[in-house]
Structure 1
């Protein structure tokens, strides 16, 4: 009886191990099949779209430039990281049906638009009224990660890029494509916005007095006001 029981237990373990191996092999084969389905041209197209949407000027880019100029590269990158994570979350939610939900309740879109205008005007006010002394030795932290993330959710450029990108590359709503596009966009967005923060830190070498810093910040503030005005018309 003992020998029969041991043989039964051994047989069960062998069956469990074989089942695990089969499941692992099946999973690996599934990943390989999925990888083969994604042609290099599709990946390049996704990356090119992400680059064109992220590197071109917009409210988040302007704030990244200003943060890099006023507070330095690494404080500016805090804003960049928050904006990147915020946009990636927005992109994923758009890919999984948020846009269709908003279409059913149009007033939510108007609320987001109004909040976006208010937030842009708030950021513009902070830039226009800045005394220009932070980059000349006073302690300053610059925009936070949370502000960067919120700004993307209130940024019309981010919404348009998310909706257009998902419509082009994930028209069939395939979950794997949604995640892949979001992963590519996350990397490209972080690098692109980081370039704006770096450009700002480079410009800071030429902003040697409070007057020049104030002039620069006021110009950035006027650009943000222009973005807010664009939302209204």
Structure 2
């Protein structure tokens, strides 16, 4: 592969992963409440899920999932319930009390699950697989290429959002500031569900 074939895929993956959505909102909220270090499992879970979805799309799995309307509806419904539960959890939070047991960040599996159910993410990775199929000589090479590009791009992008959240968490001093930001983050998470139902 040449730089001419690599660059468009890398740029596509970076733009797709850095733009605001459910994953970036969750990474920001986790960074604000728990700091970057404790949020690494969440970032890794989302990144691994996106990487596996991109690789699966290269093998045609994304197309199969998108072609089954009942499966799409089930995925959307499960995803809606999970994201709404996370939004309520974030919105009901006050300033973090890290000495309490309930103050635990979403982990690797929670991050992965948040992405795997999302038909829009499958559509995006399937679109990438279709768009860049001609850049490689086999579906295995395309799967490795797309999986790597999306996984690395997601790690970088989500880390930036998480660090921004950590900075925000350090800037917030009062309970009302935390309630306000938690309410905003919860609202953004709910809004991120809307594109799934279009």
TM-score (norm 2): 0.90
**Counterpart in the other structure of 2:74:** 111
User: Does the C-alpha gap of structure 1 residues 46 and 98 become closer, same or farther in structure 2, counting only changes over 3 Å?
Assistant: same
From the CA coordinates, give the structure whose radius of gyration is larger. 1
Distance, in Å, in 1 between the alignment partners of 2:40 and 2:58 is 26
CA distance in 2, matches of 1:157, 1:76: 24
Distance (Å, rounded) in 2 between the aligned partners of 1:45 and 1:230: 25
Q: Equivalent of 1:217, from 182, 187, 193?
A: 182
For the 8 Å contact 1:64–1:197, the answer to whether it is kept is yes
Aligned to 2:18: 55
Q: Which whole-Å deviations, capped at 9, do the CAs of 1:9-47 have from their partners, x for residues lacking one?
A: xxxxxxxxxxxxxxxxxxxxxxxxxxxxx1211111111
Matched, 1:177 2:177: no
Contact residue 42 and residue 107 of structure 2 kept, 8 A: yes
* CA spacing shift, 1:103–1:56, aligned 2, 3 Å: closer
Give the structure-1-normalised TM-score: 0.77
In structure 2, what is the equivalent of residue 81 of structure 1?
A: 44
Where relative contact order (Cα < 8 A, 6+ residues apart) is larger, the structure is: 2
Provide the rounded CA distance (Å) in 1 between the counterparts of 2:108 and 2:90.
18
In structure 1, C-alpha distance between the alignment counterparts of 2:141 and 2:72, rounded to whole Å: 27
RMSD: 1.8
Shift of 1:173: 5.7
Runs of 4+ in 1 over 6 A off after TM superposition: none
